[in-house]
A and B are shown apart, each in its own frame.
Chain A
């Protein structure tokens, strides 16, 4: 059974194609990362999953059934643009939002209090929302999406603007929920978050799906040809013949090895040489990062531009458009 199934979704706003031929599925118990630069169609896709907008073509299925509004009782949604009633008391607000999701007032209020305890914001309960800090408001919103114990949790950029401590708190909450069999989808443009927590991803760029599947599958399709080395001393070993390119930083370097059938041996030989020249404090052989894979994929599928694309450039391209 799959929680979400998108098939050939397409959505056009006036002249701008927001999403084109997008398909993926989310299984129960999955932490699913929806990735892409700003304006790539993440929010549009999420909105179509919950019927805020309707796709021009293609089908959306939730919980193995074609989309109906009755399924929304099992979905929790944290929109990218946070919004709460500013003048409302926090508990009243959470109760109200819980009631809209079909809870009784009593149950909603009890769960709201429990969640506030869990997320360490008990002191916010009697306050007005507008008196809270932005981070606290974000936690309230986070709670609002989870009050009714949804089976599918959709989080649009859930960690933007949060400090690392709180971001970690929310992330581990999501991981907990995921381990109880809920499906969590979160969208982000931060590849490192995805790399750490997600077991399944979809990469989109300009409304097109570029890459999708489980993290392990995707990574295993790439050779372990990246080396991260932290060292002190001479850097003559960087002239080793198996090295294709090097990026030097202060105290460390990122190395890309030449394609070869014996990558593991090449890495060993490089390490041997490095030890002779310098004091090595870290030596790690790995697959390309998600960011590298993403950039590579974008360059493959789109007309090649001169020079190397970076995330920042991609964002600049997409950022001007309406993220609708």
Chain B
């Protein structure tokens, strides 16, 4: 045990000290945060300004539409989740001889994002004015979303006109057309599901990334030891199993340290500042660490086996499919498990050891797994970790002294029989 501790400590100290550790610790949150804020920023910028023109022979209609659009926009701005509101600049104009040509020219030169051409309808027999026709010409398909905004503004105007035609006072019409405002409030003792989903999703992603990164690190450090041939000195004093265990523990602790740093920083930031609010319960964090450790142990012992049977990073690249594939399956099913954490598919998948760490963690955080399911998932994963460690350490023991070609499957099976 003492040897395992020595190996793990060396691995930990040497890795923590590297510039690479510092860089990933700082850069990964920066990149992720940057992407997150960047996408929000870009979203708020890209469609936020729009310049449209309303062309109508009925100048009153054009003016009404202009004011209605501005009013609706003002209402929308005051609501929460207002990041997506488009700031409209509306020009009302009457029809001239070459209006269309001018507008088309402006569209081309990007001065205008679109124009709405209103053609008044001929007056009907009963002297009621008919419905005008509307034709919207957006600059590009992206501006098509403006059509909805326009339609939403035109509805009340036309209705108000018809009401006026039927002799209803403008003030009455306004009160009839008052939009319904539903406010959202939170029920007591129910956590804010959406923000907790975001928190869990971030943790899921973190787990995926760290398992991937540090699993590969285990494999890489074994290969490094094979190429530097240091292991032969080590094997003269300690068992291959001790060496492998020490490596996995040491590298894993580095991963845990990194995650802990990130989580602490995230908590401090979200406690101190406003902006994106992430709520996580204590149980979610505890389960995170439980399933993180299970997942890491599972994948890093596979990685240790892979590292022991290869001689170079290139060879490892060819084999790392074995690591990536199960994790990719987790990712593919992520959305459906996130939305229906208690569906049959989610329940079955979460009990299969390679998927347990990531998917069961999601279920525990967002769904309502039964106690026996949690217990079974931990038991099954632990049992399979034991089996993998057994196989990997055998491969390790023989593979670490082999160099030259990569073993074939029958050779591998023979290695397992060596004791």
> Are A100 and B6 closer than 8 Å at their CB atoms?
yes
Binds B, one of A82-90, A177-185, A307-315: A82-90
> How many whole Å from B271's CB to the nearest CB in chain A?
38
CA distance A102 to B231 in the complex (A): 17
Best-buried of A75, A84, A96, A144 by chain B (most CB within 10 Å): A96
> Are B236 and A85 closer than 8 Å at their CB atoms?
no
Asked if B404 CB lies within 8 Å of chain A CBs, one says yes
Residues of B within 8 A of A83 (CB): 225, 228-233
> How many whole Å from A116's CB to the nearest CB in chain B?
18
Residues of B within 8 A of A144 (CB): 233
Size of B's binding interface in residues, CB under 8 A:
21
> Are B401 and A53 closer than 8 Å at their CB atoms?
yes
Best-buried of B232, B234, B236 by chain A (most CB within 10 Å): B236
Best-buried of B229, B232, B234, B238 by chain A (most CB within 10 Å): B232
Question: Which chain A residue lies CB-closest to B235?
Answer: A52
Asked if B402 CB lies within 8 Å of chain A CBs, one says yes
> Are A79 and B232 closer than 8 Å at their CB atoms?
yes
Interface string of B236-278 (1 = CB under 8 A from A): 1111000000000000000000000000000000000000000
Interface string of B274-292 (1 = CB under 8 A from A): 0000000000000000000
> Are B14 and A324 closer than 8 Å at their CB atoms?
no
Asked if B39 CB lies within 8 Å of chain A CBs, one says no
Q: A85-B228, A86-B228, A324-B401 are in contact. Are A72 and B237 (CB under 8 A)?
A: yes
> How many whole Å from B10's CB to the nearest CB in chain A?
5
Residues of B within 8 A of A88 (CB): 14
CA distance A50 to B401 in the complex (A): 14
Interface size class of A (residues with CB under 8 A): 20 to 34
Question: Which chain A residue lies CB-closest to B229?
Answer: A83
> Are B236 and A79 closer than 8 Å at their CB atoms?
yes
Asked if A141 CB lies within 8 Å of chain B CBs, one says yes
Residues of B within 8 A of A96 (CB): 6, 10
Asked if B59 CB lies within 8 Å of chain A CBs, one says no
> Are B230 and A87 closer than 8 Å at their CB atoms?
no
Q: A86-B228, A88-B14, A99-B6 are in contact. Are A322 and B233 (CB under 8 A)?
A: no
> Are A72 and B401 closer than 8 Å at their CB atoms?
no
Question: Which chain B residue lies CB-closest to A76?
Answer: B236
CA distance A101 to B232 in the complex (A): 14
Residues of A within 8 A of B236 (CB): 50, 52, 72, 75, 77, 79
Asked if A265 CB lies within 8 Å of chain B CBs, one says no
User: Which residues of chain A in 60-80 are interfacial with respect to chain B, using CB atoms and an 8 Å cutoff?
Assistant: 69, 72-73, 75, 77, 79
Asked if A97 CB lies within 8 Å of chain B CBs, one says yes
> How many whole Å from A153's CB to the nearest CB in chain B?
12
Residues of B within 8 A of A53 (CB): 401
Interface string of A284-315 (1 = CB under 8 A from B): 00000000000000000000000000000000
Question: Which chain A residue lies CB-closest to B414?
Answer: A14
> How many whole Å from A238's CB to the nearest CB in chain B?
50
Asked if A163 CB lies within 8 Å of chain B CBs, one says no
> Are B401 and A79 closer than 8 Å at their CB atoms?
no
CA distance A324 to B399 in the complex (A): 12
> How many whole Å from B137's CB to the nearest CB in chain A?
65
CA distance A87 to B13 in the complex (A): 12
User: Which residues of chain A in 13-55 are interfacial with respect to chain B, using CB atoms and an 8 Å cutoff?
Assistant: 47, 50, 52-53
> Are B233 and A77 closer than 8 Å at their CB atoms?
yes
Question: Which chain A residue lies CB-closest to B228?
Answer: A83
CA distance A97 to B233 in the complex (A): 9
Best-buried of B3, B225, B233, B239 by chain A (most CB within 10 Å): B233
> Are B404 and A322 closer than 8 Å at their CB atoms?
yes
CA distance A81 to B400 in the complex (A): 13
> How many whole Å from A65's CB to the nearest CB in chain B?
18
CA distance A324 to B401 in the complex (A): 8
> How many whole Å from B145's CB to the nearest CB in chain A?
55
CA distance A83 to B228 in the complex (A): 5
> How many whole Å from B243's CB to the nearest CB in chain A?
10
Residues of A within 8 A of B18 (CB): 87
CA distance A86 to B402 in the complex (A): 21
> Are A85 and B14 closer than 8 Å at their CB atoms?
yes
> Are A82 and B229 closer than 8 Å at their CB atoms?
yes
Residues of B within 8 A of A85 (CB): 10, 14, 228, 230
CA distance A53 to B229 in the complex (A): 16
CA distance A250 to B402 in the complex (A): 47
User: Which residues of chain B in 341-379 are interfacial with respect to chain A, using CB atoms and an 8 Å cutoff?
Assistant: none
> How many whole Å from A63's CB to the nearest CB in chain B?
16
CA distance A87 to B401 in the complex (A): 22
> Are B3 and A100 closer than 8 Å at their CB atoms?
yes
Question: Which chain B residue lies CB-closest to A105?
Answer: B6
Best-buried of A47, A81, A83, A84 by chain B (most CB within 10 Å): A83
Residues of A within 8 A of B238 (CB): 100
Question: Which chain A residue lies CB-closest to B238?
Answer: A100
CA distance A239 to B99 in the complex (A): 126
Interface string of A205-249 (1 = CB under 8 A from B): 000000000000000000000000000000000000000000000
Residues of B within 8 A of A145 (CB): 233
Residues of A within 8 A of B230 (CB): 83-85
A72-B237, A82-B229, A141-B233 given; name 16 further pairs at CB < 8 Å.
A52-B232, A53-B401, A79-B232, A79-B236, A83-B228, A83-B231, A83-B233, A85-B228, A86-B228, A87-B18, A97-B233, A99-B6, A101-B237, A144-B233, A145-B233, A324-B401
> What are 22 of the A-B contact pairs (CB < 8 Å)?
A52-B236, A52-B401, A53-B401, A72-B236, A72-B237, A79-B232, A79-B233, A79-B236, A81-B232, A83-B230, A83-B232, A84-B228, A85-B10, A85-B228, A86-B228, A88-B14, A97-B233, A99-B6, A100-B238, A144-B233, A145-B233, A324-B401
A residues near B (Cβ < 8 Å) are: 47, 50, 52-53, 69, 72-73, 75, 77, 79, 81-88, 96-97, 99-101, 141, 144-145, 322, 324
The 5 tightest CB contacts between A and B, nearest first, are A83-B229, A83-B230, A81-B229, A79-B232, A77-B236
